[in-house]
Chain A
Amino acid sequence: MSNTKTVLPTEHCETCPAFTQLEQMGIKVGDFDRVIALAGNPNTGKSTLFNTLTGLKQHTGNWPGKTVTRAEGGFEFNKIRYKLVDLPGTYSLLSASQDEEVARDFILFGQPSCTIVVTDATALERNLNLVLQVMEITQHVVVAINLMDEAKRKGIEVDARSLSRDLGVPAIAITARSGEGIHTLLGAVADVIEGKIDIKPLRVSGTPEFQKAVNELVPMIEQMAPGIPNARWLAIRLLDGDARVQKALTTGELGDIVSRQQRADVQFSGKMSVEGRQ
Chain B
Amino acid sequence: MEANEILAKAESLRNGLSTGFRDEIVKSLYTEAEQIAKRAVKTSVDKKYDFDQKIDRLVTSPYTGLPIMLGLLSILIWLTVSGANVVSGWLAVVLFGIGDFGRALFNQIGAPWWITGFIWDGVYLSLAWVVSVMLPPMMIFFPAYTFLEDLGYLPRVAFNMDWMFKKTGAHGKQSLTMAMGFGCNAAGVIATRVIDSPRERLIAILTNNFVPCNGRFPTLIMLATVFVAASFPPALTSLVAAATVVGVVLIGVAFTFLASWILSRTVLKGEASAFTLELPPYRKPNVSRIIYTSIIDRTIFVLWRAMQTAAPAGAIIWILANVPIGDSNLARAIADWLNPFGYLLGLDGVIILAYIIAIPANEIVVPTMMMVYMGAGMMVNGPTSNHAIFDLLVNGNGWTMLTAINLMLFSLLHNPCATTIMTIYKETKSVKWATLSVVMTLGTAIVVTFLTASIARLLGWV
Contacts and interface: CB of A to CB of B under 8 A. Distances in A.
A58 to B, nearest CB: 10
B280 A210 contact: no
Q: Main SS of the interface on chain B?
A: helix
B187 A278 contact: yes
Interface string A134-155: 0000000000000000100111
B17 interface: yes
A160 B45 CA distance: 21
Interface in B164-221: 173, 176, 180, 187, 190-191, 193-197, 201
B327 interface: no
A213 B17 contact: yes
Interface stretch (B4-12, B114-122, B331-339): B4-12
A217 B6 contact: yes
Nearest to B151: A62
A220 B5 contact: yes
A129 B17 CA distance: 24
A245 to B, nearest CB: 10
Interface stretch (A73-81, A106-114, A198-206): A198-206
Nearest to A51: B289
Contact of B13 (A62, A100, A239): A239
A207 interface: yes
A265 B34 CA distance: 36
Nearest to B42: A157
B43 A155 contact: yes
Interface stretch (A19-27, A161-169, A188-196): A161-169
B39 A162 contact: yes
Interface string A70-103: 0000000000000000001001000111111010
A240 B146 CA distance: 42
Contacts of A238: 6-7, 10
Interface string B280-299: 11110110010011001110
Given A57-B293, A159-B40, A206 B7 contact: no
Contact of B41 (A88, A100, A124, A131): A124
Contacts of A160: 40
Given A217-B9, A250-B3, A278-B180, A62 B40 contact: no
B195 A59 contact: no
A64 B4 contact: no
Contacts of B30: 129
B34 A125 contact: yes
Interface string A233-265: 001101111000010011010000000000000
Nearest to A214: B13
B36 interface: yes
A132 B30 CA distance: 9
Contacts of A59: 293, 297
A43 B280 contact: yes
A269 interface: no
Interface residues of B, number: 73
Nearest to B33: A128
A210 B3 CA distance: 21
Contact of B3 (A60, A96, A224, A275): A224
Interface string A262-276: 000000000000010
A95 B196 contact: yes
B18 interface: yes
A202 B32 CA distance: 10
Interface stretch (B21-29, B66-74, B84-92): B21-29
Given A62-B151, A122-B281, A132 B29 contact: yes
Contacts of A163: 36, 40
Contact of A156 (B16, B29, B41, B176): B41
A224 B41 contact: no
Contacts of A179: none
Given A158-B40, A238-B10, A209 B18 contact: yes
A181 interface: no
B32 A278 contact: no
Contacts of B14: 213, 239, 241
A98 B193 contact: yes
Nearest to B195: A97
A163 B13 CA distance: 35
A230 interface: no
Closest 9 CB pairs of A and B: A97-B196, A125-B37, A65-B194, A128-B33, A62-B152, A155-B44, A238-B10, A68-B193, A155-B46
22 contacts: A57-B296, A62-B149, A62-B150, A63-B152, A64-B277, A68-B194, A95-B196, A97-B197, A125-B33, A125-B41, A133-B29, A153-B46, A156-B41, A156-B44, A159-B42, A204-B28, A210-B21, A216-B13, A217-B13, A239-B13, A246-B7, A250-B3
Interface of B: 1-7, 9-10, 13-14, 16-18, 21-22, 24-25, 28-30, 32-46, 48-49, 146, 149-152, 154-155, 173, 176, 180, 187, 190-191, 193-197, 201, 276-278, 280-283, 285-286, 289, 292-293, 296-298, 301
Given A68-B191, A216-B9, A239-B17, 16 more contacts: A57-B292, A91-B276, A95-B196, A124-B41, A125-B37, A129-B33, A133-B29, A157-B43, A177-B286, A209-B17, A224-B2, A238-B10, A250-B7, A277-B297, A278-B187, A278-B191
